[in-house]
C-alpha cells in the first residue's frame, strides 16, 4: 500500500484540503485496500475515485475539518458501480456478431 500512500501525497490539493487528507490517510488507505482485496478492483482506480469525491466535496470537508466515512464509502461504491457497468458492456459487446 506504499503506492497508495505515495499517490495520496502527490495529489494537487490546496494546503487546507491536503492537511485534512493527510490526517485521514490511514482511513482512506485501509478502506481502499479492503475494497481491492474483497473485490479484486484496480487499486489506482479505487483511489482515484476517492480522491475525485474528496475534490468534489472540498467545501463540506474543509468546513467539517475531516473526511467523513460516508464520502469514502460513497466514492468506493460509485467506483464499483462504474466498473460493473464497464464489465457488463464489454461482455455484451464481446457477444455481438456471434451466431
> Cell 491536503 maps to which residue?
18
Per-position pLDDT tens, the chain of length 99: 555 566 666 667 888 998 999 899 899 999 999 999 999 999 889 988 999 999 999 999 999 999 999 999 999 988 877 655 544 444 444 554 444
Amino acid at each position: 500500500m506504499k503506492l497508495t500512500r505515495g499517490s495520496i501525497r502527490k495529489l494537487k490539493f490546496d494546503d487546507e484540503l491536503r492537511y485534512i487528507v493527510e490526517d485521514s490517510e490511514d482511513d482512506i488507505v485501509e478502506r481502499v485496500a479492503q475494497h481491492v482485496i474483497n473485490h479484486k478492483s484496480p487499486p489506482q482506480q479505487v483511489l482515484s475515485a476517492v480522491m475525485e469525491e474528496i475534490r468534489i466535496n472540498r467545501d463540506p470537508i474543509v468546513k467539517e475539518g475531516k473526511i467523513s466515512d460516508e464520502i469514502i464509502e460513497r466514492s468506493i461504491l460509485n467506483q464499483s458501480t462504474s466498473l460493473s457497468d464497464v464489465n457488463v458492456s464489454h461482455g455484451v459487446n464481446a457477444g455481438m456478431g456471434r451466431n
